[in-house]
Every structure is written in C-alpha cells, then in structure tokens.
Structure 1
C-alpha cells in the first residue's frame, strides 16, 4: 500500500485590476459601473442595500482587468453603493493593492490523505481519498452540495479502479473563500496526479505507461459535474500526444527531467509534460511545458493557444510561489513583495497542441491550469527523488 498526505494553501486572485466600482444612488434609481462576473447578483445586492426595486437598478458592464472567480462576489460594489447612498452623489471606490490582497475570497486551503494499493502486476486495485477543504460556496449563495464543489466523486481514478472510496469534510472557516481559476480542479489535479506518479514509482513502471494502462480500453465515463460525461479514450490520446511532442523517454539536455500529468476539467482533457532542472542553488527552473488538449472544434486557434498558455503560466506561478498565510485573524501578505509572482524571465516555453475534431467546441479559459503543478512536481521527483506533497513548491523544498 502507498499512503501520502497532500496539502494546498490559500491563494489570492491578484487580478491586474484591483477591485473597484462606481455607483450613483438616487431616490428612485441606481446606476452601477464596473466589472463583475455576475451582474444579476450585483443588481440584487444593490437592491437589498438601497431598497430600490431591481427594475430601477442598471448595471453598466465594463471590461474586466482579470476575474478568475474574484468578481463572482460583489463586496467591493457594496462600498460604492453604501457611500453613494449616504452622500447622494456618484461615488467611485478603488481598492488599493493592499486592500485587494488582504480582503479576497481566497482559494480554499485543503488537506488530502490518499491510500492506494497495487496487485502483483503493478495495477491499481484500490483508491481511498479523504479530503478536508471548505466549499467555495460557503460565503456565496448556491444550491450546490459542498461535496461536489471541491472534490468530484466521478473524477479519475473513479471508474478506473475496482475499489474506490472518497470521503469529504467541509470544515467551517472564518476566512472568506471563493472560486479560483479551475475551481476544485486546481487542487485535486495536483493531489491525484502526484499520487498516480507515486503509485507508478511503487509499481516500478514508467509514469506514462502506468496512466495508459489505467485508462485501458474504457470509453464513456460517467461524470456528474460541469462538463458532463467524457470519453476516456480522448484522455488517453492527449496523454500520448503530449508525451510524443515532448519526446518523452528520449534523452534530454544534461540535468533536465520530465514530469507528466493529465486531467479532465469541465469535460476537456488536457495533458502536460514539464521539462525541469534544478539550479546550483537548489532553485527550480521550468524550461518548457508541452500541452495536448481536446476541446472539440477550434474556432480561433491563436485565441485557443493563448488561453492554454496563459492558464499554464498562471498555474505555474501559483505552484511555485502562491501562498496566503493568516496570523491572529489577519492576512500576512499585503503586496507583491510578500506575494511573489512569476517573472517574465522565469516563464518557460509553452508548446500547445490540439486534437483536431468535429466535436462541439468547449471552453478553454481554465482547462490548461490544473495539470501544470503536478507535472512540475513529478519532474522535480525525477530530478531529485524528493516528493512535493504540499504547495507552494519553493516552500515545500525548504525544511519546516
């Protein structure tokens, strides 16, 4: 049996545009200007605060300088509405970066304990995962059950292993949490794909071979969350394509190592291979990420490539550096000197490949993010023999 405990931290959104809103509350009407992912909720929120009927509240939508789930909450709009109501004049409220970073609805932190067993042939026979993480809907109205917001009962390896058990605890939290790019999947992909690599190592099998054998000849897999059922063979194809394009198993430059991960996010299978080296000071250098994606018919190839590339860089940033810490009820980070971001010179080459098909097109804004953290962590293991079981990576590499 292989057993491991994985941890993920709170993450901030740090959108390029800090939260801001403009409101003009009058006696019988209200006008709002700003960027939001939920204009209907913002309108309803303003109606509650002002007592003005929703039909007399107009939300003027502006382009957003980044959302990633942060603008699903309208707390920053409330500031402008309440002040305008009190003063009777138009008011624009712009949060400082310090306000924005300390008063976020953070990606939930979580702990995941997994046990897996293998038979004499190195095949996965049982998987038992216990997850503890606060639902992202704890601070926002929703009719979704918590157990399908942060973990997903039909997520791989469910359906691929004869004995599967998932247990979930939704602990109460005083820290506001919310959706963060590829919600739920941004954590579970790291956990599951890292554990699969551990099992492949225990089985003395190549990580690529282990995954392909696990999928086997299965086809349509039941999936009760966003994206619906998916074809396991599509997942198998993108895994093989990413490996082929990255020259998996072939000689790499001296000191370079590969790591592989694949995940289905909202019905779109994505596989990624990270090429990594460890610098003389112990720093992690990610040289290249090769991605293979099956999102159905491509409408705008440049746009599609940019979505995947951007998601990979976003995921790499959070995997290496992202972490919000809280002490005595207060967030400790206030700006970029404490919440490190990926520098342009650290950005790897990103090589994106799409499966050409006539299937209906699907979204791409989030799907490239989940596999990158486990791909990099698996490459670090190949390079050093050290497993990364908690994020961010640079913190995990330091002794506690």
Structure 2
C-alpha cells in the first residue's frame, strides 16, 4: 500500500490506546474508527513487542495494524523505547527509558520503518524525560539511513507526549490489566507492597460518598445521573475542543481514545482507567468492539459535518465575549457555522437556554446540538431588502435522551447534503445552525 501524494485538509483522528496487542491478541480497530468518521489513526508500538529478544523479531502486532489500513487513512505511530533487555528500565511496557546501546535502538527503528514504509505518515519516539532528545536523535539517524524521505516516512515535530519517571533503581512490571507495579530491586518471600497508585485509588473509593460530584463522575459505579452528565460533557467537549483547535490553525487532532484494550476488563483501582477510562468512545460487547458511547455518536456527527473542511475561522462577536462563533469552509458543501455560549462545564447545562440573534443571509436554516437533536430557530424579516435575515436560535435543555445513530442527522448521512450543522452547547451555552 502506498500513496502518490501526502494527505491534505483537516483530519479528525482517534487514538487506539497505549497497549494495543500488549495484553491480548491484536484485534480489529481501524474499521471501527473509520465508521465513526476518523481519518487519522494513532497507535503505540513497543520495542518489546517487535524485538522481544536480541535479534528475534515478531511482527504480529505491526502486521495486524498494517493489515487494517486503507490508502485513505493517515497513520501516526508512537514508538515506545521499552524492552526487558535493551533499555535502562527492564520492562516490556512502561515506563519507557533510554537504550543501553543507541546503535541497537537505531537498528530497531530502521527495521520497523522498513517494515511499515509507505502506510505510516508520522513517527514519534517516546522515551523518558530529558532522554527524549537522545532517542529523537537516534530515530532521526535511523531515518537518515533509510535514504530520501518518502510519503509515509516522516517523523513528527513532537518527540514525546508525556514524561516518565527516570529513577535508576526502580523496575516496573505490568499486570494483566495494564496497571504498573513498581518496586526496588530486591528479593523477598513476602508479597510486594501494593503500588502507591492503587493504594490511593482504594482510599478514594472508600471515601466516594463524601467526594464532590465533579470527581465522582469519573469513578466506576457512580450514580447514573452523574455518569450521564459526564457523557454530555464529553460530547460537548469533543465539539468545542476540535473546533477551537481547527480555528487556531491545527489541521490534525486525535481523540483520546477509542476503547478499552482488553474485553471485559474492569479494575477500578487502575489509576489510568480513573483518569481516562470515561473518555473512551466505544466499548466491547463480548469480544466485539461494537458498543458506542454517546461521545462516539457526537464524534461521528462532527466528522460528517466537517467532512471536506479546508478552514475554520472564528467570527468576531462584538459585545458578546461569552459567545463563540465559527465559520467553516467546506469544499462543495453549503455554509456551516458553529456557535456556543461559555459557561461552567459542570453546572452550566442546568441553567435556562440562551437565545441568540444571528444574521443569516440564506433562505433556510437548520440547527443541531452536540447530541444530534434539532435546535429550533425562528427567522425574522430583515429591516431592508439588502440586509440579511436574522434568526433567533435557542436549544432545549441539554439533559435529554440520546438519539440513536440512525436518528442523528449528519452521523452517517451524505457528506454533500446542504443545510447541515454540528453545533455545541457548552455549559450554559447554545448553538445554532447552517443552511443553504
């Protein structure tokens, strides 16, 4: 598989997670992303997965990724310097750390790039804190050895997306659920002490009833109304954060993340799950990645509305600092504007709707909120023939039942349909529509 030219335009992407193929057989995920409208795939690959022993290569995970790709997909691979034999911290998972021998790391990266040459658009190294610079230089050296860069073999500008511990005397071992247990080098007949992050989570759950709702909504088994509120917040932020980034000139975003990576695995003492678990767009139903959370429907709606987008521009709204308004330019499609009013992320949706008078020079207007429901709008006559019409838009309370994918305008519709808008109600805010 190869491309004749590099991808252009705006792309909304999705991250698979940090441990694809690490704790189970690599399964299908790219088609699932594609069905949500994702056109950029981000995935992590570990040195330990590719070269589990010196000189012995296992391409199972890499080939599973490559086998799912389509020429239209854009691919971002984060290469983690984690090895039970080649890195400073002896681990197959995390934390990543520098290689004992940078020449071995260069050879590993070179072999990986050779295997993937063509389908992968962006390469990123993940090492450990200040050592990222050294790993990045080694990765660049590996690329230099590949000859002239071709589409699909260019490193990203960023070299790391987070900092890991660089403590020299700590070894990490992974458990089946992906949690990390860290302990000093020692041998003992006693069971190792519980990891600090798990002790912290145990204490947190013991106090769950006394914790503020803004924290409890991230926890397992929280009240259903808090879980539903967290879903609504996630939906709204998928729209607002993407639109703000695109308006700032960003052309690639990657939503964290697609789904859990182990079917049926639930561990409420896992710190990673506590921080990021409820951001997942999908979940397993048995062994199939088929269950969509409300945020997945919102992502699909936004991707359909932004299909063909070349530019997003913020509109200056004089006298309304609370109002965010954006104009979206889409090739061959009708006009699209996105509006929302600022407010408190957690409590803002509890307030009354905020009507917005908005000039609209087109004969019709259609509005959707972040959940795919219609936003009512009332056109009023312009004061003179040459002036645009003004529409008053107001969205109902955001606490509503989520429509199914088949009921969501824009979730899976014709990308060329006119009069479609994905909008957003952030906290107390409202948004309204498009038309043609």
With normalisation by structure 1, the TM-score equals 0.25
Q: Which has the higher contact order (CA 8 A, sep 6+)?
A: 1
Of Structure 1 and Structure 2, which has the larger fraction of its residues in strand?
A: 1
With normalisation by structure 2, the TM-score equals 0.24
Largest Rg, 1 or 2? 2
